[in-house]
């Protein structure tokens, strides 16, 4: 029962990589463009990058809603999906190294800015009177998203870059052993540098000081708990699968 929540995302990643890595694709039959005849060796990176960007975009939209339990535990809804983005960042660093992971991080940064611009265009454009309720709902969500994204991007760059950097350094010190130590150890630093600036920028002035401190603590330990219970086991499974898939692709290439 414990591993049921991990099965669905793992199977989705595995299916996506398998489908994208098939060699006999219709586009490969066209010979005039040399890039169309390449093997699927790069497709795992493309799939992980796409999922990484998606997790961050979804987390930023979900972060508009604040969840509270018993008047003590406060965290935004994006906290639920955010650790899986960190897990994918760990996969990127582990398989393709810090340099490539850093490139993906900057791509995600640009995608977040593009999302803010596009959703703000939707806010600025007029809507029919009979859809006024739907328009107000849209505006109430996406008018707040830019502040969330500014907070997220600040925490994102500080947290994700430090997470990838520390994971690479821990890998060098441990000589490639103890993957769990790399994923959790780097996340301890990364989540701290992400959570504090995110909460301050996103919710300062909208929550009391007490609630801000409770939200920082709740988000930090919630993210770390999800990372340890779900993210790290899923990272083990995805990294093992990707290493086998990349090795198989190279051997067949």
Which pLDDT does position 153 carry in this prediction? 80
pLDDT 10s digits, 94-148: 888 888 888 898 898 888 888 888 888 888 888 888 878 888 888 877 776 677 7
- What's the pTM value of the predicted model, to 2 decimals? 0.70
Task: Measure the CA–CA gap between 190 and 90, rounded to whole angstroms.
Answer: 11
> What's the sign of the alpha-carbon dihedral 115, 164, 204, 213?
positive
What pLDDT, on a 0 to 100 scale, did the predictor assign at position 53?
92
What whole-number distance in Å separates Cα of residue 101 and Cα of residue 99? Answer: 5
DSSP string, 46-68: HHHHHHHHHHHHHHHHHTTSEEE
* Domain count of the fold of the chain: 1
pLDDT of residue 35: 35
Neighbours of 199 (CB within 10 A): 26
Residue 159's pLDDT is 82
Q: Minimal CA–CA distance to 238: which of 7, 23, 37, 36? A: 7
Give the per-residue pLDDT at 20: 56
pLDDT along the chain (253 residues), means of 10: 55 60 46 42 84 88 77 75 84 86 88 85 83 81 73 81 83 82 83 86 80 83 83 84 75 63
- pLDDT tens readout for residues 208-223: 888 888 888 888 888 8
Instruction: Look up the domain containing 127 and give its range.
Output: 4-252
**What pairs with residue 68 in β-bridges?**
74
Q: Check residue 29 and give its pLDDT.
A: 45
């Amino acid at each position: 029962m414990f591993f049921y929540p991990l099965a669905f995302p793992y199977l989705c990643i595995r299916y996506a990589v398998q489908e994208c890595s098939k060699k006999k694709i219709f586009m490969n039959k066209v010979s005039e463009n040399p890039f169309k005849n390449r093997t699927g060796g790069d497709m795992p990176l493309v799939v992980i990058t796409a999922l990484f960007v998606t997790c961050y975009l979804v987390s930023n939209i979900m972060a508009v809603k604040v969840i509270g339990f018993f008047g003590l535990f406060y965290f935004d809804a994006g906290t639920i999906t955010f650790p899986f983005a960190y897990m994918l960042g760990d996969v990127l660093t582990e398989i393709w190294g810090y340099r490539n992971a850093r490139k993906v991080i900057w791509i995600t940064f640009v995608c977040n800015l593009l999302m803010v611009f596009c959703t703000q265009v939707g806010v600025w454009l007029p809507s029919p009177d009979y859809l006024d309720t739907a328009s107000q709902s849209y505006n109430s969500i996406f008018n707040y998203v830019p502040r969330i994204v500014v907070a997220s991007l600040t925490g994102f760059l500080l947290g994700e870059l430090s997470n990838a950097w520390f994971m690479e350094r821990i890998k060098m010190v441990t000589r490639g052993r103890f993957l769990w130590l790399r994923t959790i150890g780097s996340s301890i630093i990364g989540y701290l540098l992400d959570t504090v600036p995110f909460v301050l920028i996103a919710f300062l002035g909208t929550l009391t000081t007490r609630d801000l401190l409770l939200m920082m603590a709740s988000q930090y330990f919630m993210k770390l708990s999800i990372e340890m219970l779900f993210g790290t086991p899923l990272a083990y499974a995805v990294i093992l699968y990707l290493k086998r898939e990349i090795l198989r692709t190279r051997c067949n290439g």
